[in-house]
Chain A
């Protein structure tokens, strides 16, 4: 049977092929594990029994309630992805911050917290959707959501070409060493730029990220790479400015900025 060409089409999405839509909600969470990530940061694994899962790159709002009822909430990127009810965070201590020193220094296994999420449908990447090259650019703890993306890419055996440029101060400041090595072995072409001190025997001495080091490490504009940039606001603004000067379409870049708190 031939249907008349009405310009309309019935769109039936087979189950499983569409992006899972997970509505954000508040969830009770328990701290399941803590471990030092760097001298200044801590990995915190939350067990969230009602967590619906999350896409690589998403974040959550974490709420603390003091005994007097005072509440403070902050956004944290999620380093894990998929259906699991364990949610991995890595929190950098911000001196004079209100929430992060508590999470890095004081929170212990068994503590109860509240989380709101999963959040964000813009700064996400899903494996198996596109073979478009992906360029990840991280400054400091901005690696957290990008580690989730690189990890999902590696775990899925996804075919898209991937590169990661990671700017940190010293070798001790590198987050997710094991996970990034695994992603590297799975084909994520990784460049780490050390601003203050490079590892012994490093081919390139320590120095701040420059437009030239950026240009040498990232996919050229003509590859049409989808670029994700995450870091402090000044880092992200600088990288976006350079990407624009190098000919990248910065309106297409996915950026996520964080401040100190």
Chain B
């Protein structure tokens, strides 16, 4: 069973990957080329982990698998990721 939320929910787990302000990281979708904030992605969360999908074309941008001791994070549908410099 999964619930649908948004990318704000991944700010914690992705802070190690996308910087302290992960919810404002920009993702370029490899499926349709659109750019959006992590905060604005559609996130399907389940006990096993989460998938962040493009709101325009549903491509799986980010996958997070929650293990007992570690997270596995993939960016299967993000062609590029941008984090702020300041």
Measured CB to CB, the residues of B under 8 A from A are 3-6, 8-9, 11-13, 15, 20-24, 37, 39-40, 45, 47, 68
Contact = CB atoms under 8 A, between A and B. Distances in A.
Nearest to B15: A24
A61 B21 CA distance: 14
Contacts of B24: 121-122
State the 7 A-B residue pairs at the shortest beta-carbon distance, nearest first.
A259-B3, A121-B21, A61-B12, A122-B39, A119-B11, A122-B23, A23-B20
Contacts of A233: 3-6
A120 interface: yes
B84 to A, nearest CB: 8
Nearest to A61: B12
Interface string A216-229: 00000000000000
A119 B4 contact: no
Given A24-B12, A75-B12, A120-B11, A259 B45 contact: yes
23 contacts: A21-B20, A23-B20, A60-B12, A71-B68, A73-B12, A75-B8, A75-B12, A98-B47, A116-B12, A116-B15, A119-B8, A119-B11, A119-B15, A121-B20, A121-B21, A122-B23, A122-B39, A123-B23, A123-B39, A255-B40, A258-B9, A259-B5, A261-B45
Contact of B23 (A22, A116, A120): A120
Nearest to B4: A233
B5 A258 contact: yes
B23 to A, nearest CB: 4
B22 to A, nearest CB: 8
A257 B12 contact: no
Given A122-B23, A122-B24, A117 B12 contact: yes
What bracket does the count of chain A residues touching chain B fall in?
20 to 34
Nearest to A116: B12
A256 B9 CA distance: 9
Interface in A10-32: 21-24
A258 B4 CA distance: 8
Interface string A181-194: 00000000000000
Contacts of B22: 119
A255 B58 CA distance: 19
B8 A120 contact: yes
B16 to A, nearest CB: 9
A23 B21 CA distance: 8
Interface string A112-149: 00001101111100000000000000000000000000
Nearest to A73: B12
A120 B5 CA distance: 15
Contacts of B47: 98
A237 to B, nearest CB: 9
Contacts of B9: 75, 258
A260 B37 contact: no
B37 A122 contact: yes
A259 B4 contact: yes
A73 B13 CA distance: 10
